[in-house]
Amino acid sequence: MFDSLKRKFQEAFSRSPGTILYGDLEPEILEILLSADVSYDTAVKISEKTKSILPKQKKIDIMEARDAFRQSMREILVSGGDAVDLLSVTTKPYKILFIGINGTGKTTTIAKVASYLKENDKRSVMAASDTFRAGAIEQLEALSGKVGIPIIKHAAGSDPSSVAFDAIEHAKAKKLDFVLIDSAGRMQTNRNLMEEMKKIKRISKPDLTVLVLDAMIGQDAISQAQTFFKEVTYDCVVMTKMDTDARGGAILSVTDELKKPVLFIGTGQNISDLQKFEVDWYLSKILP
């Protein structure tokens, strides 16, 4: 994971001799970050932060430059704030609405979160509120069976908000800990579907709204997130497909440009392949 990005950083900060010209620092950092799918604005911000930390002298010790670079990235990563610790919430049932464009792995992510919660002795119910996409209800139903938690579903094409409402009522009656609400993969060009998402949120009143983004699409993930933010507010992000050849830089861009924390990352195809995102872990992977 992040092997390409890690290799580039190692090459940049393990050179001989162990110094770098102050004037070469910014363009080199920019080149590395841009090649890792970090957005231009975020890459510029990180490079400028790095230079501001270092003394303005002709040659900079390479390890000193590395530490300044790491510090700059850390400041970007924490700028999104702290993600909620789902295992510590006290609201019951705690309602989580998942939003995102089709193909990002949203429905599978819901099952992974359900599995994560179950492994930590939390009881959940899934709401199959994606009633528009062919096979969406069946997909979530199969996943719920795999995880071993109940699902509330209605007929295809029915009102998504009523599914969410019924799931919440079920959770209250059964004294469950979490309600995990699926939703259709809205595209910004589909006004009816976007309005339906707003309705789901208005009726379900989620405690947490999670935007699921595909790490493989790189900088396009930012455009998706900005589009959703204009239409439906969300609290945090899950980045999927981090086990692929995704270069990892989208995480920096998301936290910087959206000022939203990353809650989880998807690390594989199995239900258990979900990892709580931690800033220091990420930094240790890309710049050990």
Query: pLDDT tens, position by position, for the chain (288 residues)?
Result: 777 778 877 877 776 668 888 888 888 889 888 888 788 899 999 999 998 998 888 888 888 988 999 999 999 999 989 999 999 999 999 999 999 887 888 999 999 999 999 999 999 999 999 988 878 899 999 999 999 999 999 998 899 999 999 999 999 999 999 999 999 876 555 667 778 888 999 999 999 999 998 877 766 767 777 777 777 889 999 999 887 665 678 889 889 988 999 999 998 889 999 999 999 999 998 887
Domain count, the chain: 2
Burial 76-91 (b: 16+ CB within 10 A, else e): bbeebeebbebeeeee
The confidence score (pLDDT) of residue 241 equals 85
The confidence score (pLDDT) of residue 15 equals 66
Looking at the domain assignment, is residue 284 inside a domain? Answer: no
Q: In this structure, are 143 and 64 located in the same domain?
A: no
Q: What CATH number is associated with residue 25?
A: 1.20.120
Q: In this structure, are 71 and 100 located in the same domain?
A: no
Q: Token pair of 245, please? A: 């050849």
The confidence score (pLDDT) of residue 76 equals 94
Looking at the domain assignment, is residue 288 inside a domain? Answer: no
Range of the domain at 182: 86-278
Q: How far apart are CA 131 and CA 152, in angstroms?
A: 12
Would you call 55 helix, strand, or coil by DSSP? coil
The confidence score (pLDDT) of residue 104 equals 84
Q: How far apart are CA 46 and CA 30, in angstroms?
A: 8
Q: In this structure, are 170 and 247 located in the same domain?
A: yes
Q: In this structure, are 122 and 214 located in the same domain?
A: yes
Looking at the domain assignment, is residue 286 inside a domain? Answer: no
Of 49, 78, 107, the residue that ends a domain is 78
The confidence score (pLDDT) of residue 245 equals 60
Would you call 153 helix, strand, or coil by DSSP? coil
The confidence score (pLDDT) of residue 278 equals 94
The confidence score (pLDDT) of residue 72 equals 95
Q: In this structure, are 38 and 109 located in the same domain?
A: no
DSSP 10: H
Looking at the domain assignment, is residue 227 inside a domain? Answer: yes
Looking at the domain assignment, is residue 43 inside a domain? Answer: yes
Q: In this structure, are 118 and 9 located in the same domain?
A: no
Q: In this structure, are 185 and 102 located in the same domain?
A: yes
Q: In this structure, are 166 and 266 located in the same domain?
A: yes
Q: Are 254 and 262 in contact (CB under 8 A)?
A: yes
Looking at the domain assignment, is residue 287 inside a domain? Answer: no
Q: In this structure, are 137 and 237 located in the same domain?
A: yes
Q: How far apart are CA 15 and CA 13, in angstroms?
A: 6
Q: What is the pTM of this model?
A: 0.91
Which residues lie across from 208 on neighbouring strands?
96
Looking at the domain assignment, is residue 283 inside a domain? Answer: no
Would you call 160 helix, strand, or coil by DSSP? helix
Q: In this structure, are 9 and 136 located in the same domain?
A: no
Q: What CATH number is associated with residue 244?
A: 3.40.50.300
Q: In this structure, are 51 and 92 located in the same domain?
A: no
Q: Is 268 exposed, middle or buried (0-12, 13-18, 19+ CB in 10 A)?
A: middle
Q: Token pair of 74, please? A: 């850390």
Of 13, 48, 78, the residue that ends a domain is 78
The confidence score (pLDDT) of residue 85 equals 96
